[in-house]
Structure 1
Amino acid sequence: MSSSPQSPCSPLPRSSHRRQRSMKIFRNLWAAVMGKSNHADPNPATVLIVGAGSTGLALAQGLRKAGIPCVVVEKYDCLDARSRDWNMGLHWGVSSLRSLVPDHMWDRIQSVQVDPHAPTAEHDSLNFYNAQSGDMMASIPVQYFYRLRRRKLRGLLAEGLDIRYGKELRSIEYSEDGKFATAWFEDGTSITSHLVVGTDGAHSTLRQTLIGPSSGNTQRLPYCATFVQARYSADRARYLRKLHPLYLAGINPAGYFSFFGMHDIQDPNDPTTWTFFFYISWHSPLEEQERTANWTNAQRLQQVKELSKCFTDPWKSAFEWLPDDHQVWYMGLSDFDPGAKDHHWDNHGGRVTMAGDAAHSMTYQRGQGLNHSITDAAKLAEAVKQFASGKATQADAISSYEEEMVARAGGEVRLSTVNTRMLHNWEKVQQSPVMRSGMTPQQQQQQQQQPQPQQAIHAQ
């Protein structure tokens, strides 16, 4: 098994922590004394990427591969500052990621999978079960379905990049000559570049800077989910994994959706080292979400344990076997549609734009988010190469990128939200986008003439 890159947040001796704090204080004081920094014009194709998530890092690798200078800034002090990790599905976006990273990096993609010991199958399927009876409802075929651990993927994509931590975006200024954008940070420093790209996630500060704090927020939806990661005894782990070695989905007639899969297989021969990843989502009016906003972890765990009682295995036993103090993660669902009214932004002559969740956060029951985000990175890298080489003006290149991205990913935001609603309504489950078209991207569906659902899904 390949070792993961050393994290900037790896434990340090106390003396090292004190030195880090002292240096941070010194840097902040120096910035305050010096005022504006980075007055010198950057190189003609310099790009500033705000946010060191998977999208921003993939974009930075694509630019680095093309020889285009770029800097990535991240508001946290290191990549692993947040305790929570999760995994994501990459399928139709595989070719985009391969185009962005060097060959030697793609050769290590197996090391960031949930099971780094099992090569990704050329042909696989995501099976959907009636989560109450255990009957299979559908089997969705998929080619090269990668399940990637977010933390490990970011660690891999961060290699060789200029990443500056502790840089929380405050505002952006634009030069009068139409050439530059200067990003100002909460620590008083600034960086000037030709292009600023917001890849700072679903709750993007850059998006709110461009659109405004009201229109720039995500839209809260009347659905929520509780996520769990857990290990079990060897016998229990083997039992839970017997339906599928990596992933499966469940739809409960009571109005619940669920996912069950692996998160980390440290030793394939020792089931006690296997970490499982699973959740239940359900309809929850915003009033209910507000009323329970201050619930404790114990209350959230008790709530989802009660919900799981009407499930079959593996969900029922997986929840039942959790100790009462086990950590869970609860969150409401939300989306942001870049094509919606009042969501248009001024890119200031191509000097600022967005990609990934910052541009189009979507619900996850159809597994599209990472694929669109990585596709954004690939298409934006091409746009930058266009204006860096003089084949197009910067304004035209970025506007063309945005036009394609808004149509493609905005349509998927809307489709994914419809899919979420239908999957939580038993009467409409079979008409949901995932049941009719699997994980095929919306634009590909539209290009097919009179698509037949049975060509995408083998109903059981």
Structure 2
Amino acid sequence: MTITIPSHDFHVIIVGAGATGLLIAQGLKQAGISATVFERYLEEEYEERSGKWTMALHWSLQHIEACLPPKIFEQLKSAETNPWEEQDPTEAGSIPVVNGRTGELLARVPMPHPKRIVRGKLRDLFRKDIDVQFGHILTDLQVNNEVVTATFNEGEKTVKGAVLIGTDGARSAVRDHLVDTKTGQLDKANAMILNAYPTFTKEQALFIRMADLVDIQKPETWVFQFTLSIWTDEAPPTSDEERRHLFRSYLSTYCEPYRSVAAWLADDIYISGESFHYWGNITPWDNYAGKVTLAGDAAHPMVPFRAQGLNNAMEDARLYVDAMKAVVLKNESLKCSIDVYDESAFKRGKADIELSNDQMFAYHHWDRVMNGPLMKGGT
């Protein structure tokens, strides 16, 4: 089946229905620019993969507001881990860094209006009133004259549009068409990541307190995220039992409430194990005279040790929407507009990939972090 967009219409093909692609879709819809979002996973699997992973949202709020309809932006608090909490203004401008063994406050990292966001909640909020085409795996991409042709599912469907943007994550299929295989290869971070999302009894939950609150009146429903990062080039243990043992052995040496968490974890709690990857060899990509480009993790996958990935992605979304508005509504050059966009995404991404790697190393090496800019009020 082939879908042909009428030549008089400027249509944007968005590959990837994560927060970045959905925010772009919202911004284009606000501007009256036609767009379609394609997602590789079937809807049921997409829902299951939404995840409880939490992220720091801070300096990019202005970019989100610029793209969302007011009625949806007003609901942003619903994506927070605790939608009922009113932040203390004396603490809302920084993130505390504590000594895990003693609980001593080491520093406060300046961070404007920080919010702890649940990934799945944010994605679902951005998806409101946006039609997503599920089960579409990009298998080919061609640019001929004024038309971009995306082929999905080995030819089951082809879609034609004026431009295409890849927002399909760190292992982007779109990026594979814009850089060669060697250049686009990701590097594995030298860290093992273990994640747990437990619930506890009412009394235990109130003791721990920080959580994704399902029901403020029922602490036993609160979902907590505990992430342990270990400096090693080894892969995480393959068995559930080994990951649980490793997780508990580390947490039991820390201060409260982590020591109690280690004791209270259910014997059958699932502990995920993974490794982060980043684009250490990031390079400008071929945008085919502005017709194809990247945003978010597809453009600059980085490790999450400075809380910059999501915020850069939100800025990408806003700048791409602005570029499309300039092209469609003001008749400005597509190539020039996207060249400017790409330069911003590349430069910001390259800088934050490098800084995030430096911070990752520091977080795992005591002398480095204690003598670094973090302890002097920087990031």
Give the structure-1-normalised TM-score: 0.77
Is 2:66 the counterpart of 1:99?
yes
Aligned partners of 1:40 and 1:48: how far apart in 2?
Answer: 10
- Superposed counterparts of 1:251-400, under 5 Å: 262=211, 264-285=212-233, 288-289=234-235, 292=236, 295-337=238-280, 340=281, 343-400=283-340
> Which amino acid is 2:170 matched to?
A
SS in 2 for 1:80: helix
Deviation at 1:319, TM superposition (A): 2.3
Is 2:376 the counterpart of 1:428?
no
Q: Give the equivalent residue in structure 2 for 1:229.
A: 197
Aligned partners of 2:200 and 2:288: how far apart in 1?
Answer: 53
Is the contact made by 1:52 and 1:200 (CA closer than 8 Å) also made in structure 2?
A: yes
Percent identical residues: 29
Aligned partners of 1:137 and 1:404: how far apart in 2?
Answer: 34
Q: Give the equivalent residue in structure 2 for 1:189.
A: 157
SS in 1 for 2:174: helix
Is the contact made by 1:45 and 1:388 (CA closer than 8 Å) also made in structure 2?
A: yes
Q: Give the equivalent residue in structure 2 for 1:213.
A: 181
Deviation at 1:85, TM superposition (A): 2.4
Is 2:108 the counterpart of 1:139?
yes
Is 2:57 the counterpart of 1:90?
yes
Is the contact made by 2:107 and 2:374 (CA closer than 8 Å) also made in structure 1?
A: no
Q: 1:83 to 1:398 in 2, by over 3 A?
A: closer
> Which amino acid is 1:270 matched to?
K
Deviation at 1:433, TM superposition (A): 5.0
Aligned partners of 2:314 and 2:22: how far apart in 1?
Answer: 10
Q: Which deviations, in whole Å up to 9, do the C-alpha atoms of 1:358-388 show, x marking residues without a partner?
A: 1111111211111100000001111111111
Is the contact made by 1:169 and 1:186 (CA closer than 8 Å) also made in structure 2?
A: yes
Is 2:354 the counterpart of 1:414?
yes
Aligned partners of 1:414 and 1:408: how far apart in 2?
Answer: 10
Q: Which deviations, in whole Å up to 9, do the C-alpha atoms of 1:145-182 show, x marking residues without a partner?
A: 1212111211111111131000011110111x2x1111
Q: 1:424 to 1:330 in 2, by over 3 A?
A: same
5+ residue gaps, structure 2, are: none
Count of aligned pairs: 374
Q: Which deviations, in whole Å up to 9, do the C-alpha atoms of 1:371-413 show, x marking residues without a partner?
A: 1000000011111111112442111111110011111121011
Aligned partners of 1:377 and 1:83: how far apart in 2?
Answer: 20
Q: 1:208 to 1:58 in 2, by over 3 A?
A: same
Aligned partners of 1:180 and 1:119: how far apart in 2?
Answer: 49
CA RMSD of aligned residues (A): 1.8
Q: Give the equivalent residue in structure 1 for 2:147.
A: 180
1:150 to 119, 138, 146: 119
Deviation at 1:83, TM superposition (A): 6.3
Q: 1:142 to 1:180 in 2, by over 3 A?
A: same
Q: Give the equivalent residue in structure 2 for 1:52.
A: 17
5+ residue gaps, structure 1, are: 1-30, 32-36, 247-261, 440-460
Aligned partners of 1:43 and 1:268: how far apart in 2?
Answer: 52
Worse-matched range after superposition: 396-405 or 213-222: 213-222
Is 2:205 the counterpart of 1:240?
no
> Which amino acid is 2:71 matched to?
H
Aligned partners of 1:142 and 1:407: how far apart in 2?
Answer: 21
Is the contact made by 1:333 and 1:363 (CA closer than 8 Å) also made in structure 2?
A: yes
Q: 1:120 to 1:48 in 2, by over 3 A?
A: farther
Deviation at 1:434, TM superposition (A): 4.1
> Which amino acid is 1:306 matched to?
S
Aligned partners of 1:83 and 1:166: how far apart in 2?
Answer: 15
Deviation at 1:70, TM superposition (A): 0.4
SS in 1 for 2:317: helix
Worse-matched range after superposition: 81-90 or 46-55: 81-90
Deviation at 1:279, TM superposition (A): 0.9
> Which amino acid is 1:64 matched to?
K
Q: Give the equivalent residue in structure 2 for 1:452.
A: none
Worse-matched range after superposition: 81-90 or 132-141: 81-90
Q: 1:172 to 1:121 in 2, by over 3 A?
A: farther
Q: Give the equivalent residue in structure 2 for 1:160.
A: 129
Aligned partners of 2:119 and 2:8: how far apart in 1?
Answer: 32
Q: Which deviations, in whole Å up to 9, do the C-alpha atoms of 1:308-345 show, x marking residues without a partner?
A: 232112222212211222111211122115xx46x332
SS in 1 for 2:59: coil
Q: Give the equivalent residue in structure 1 for 2:76.
A: 109
Which of structures 1 and 2 has the bigger CA Rg? Answer: 1
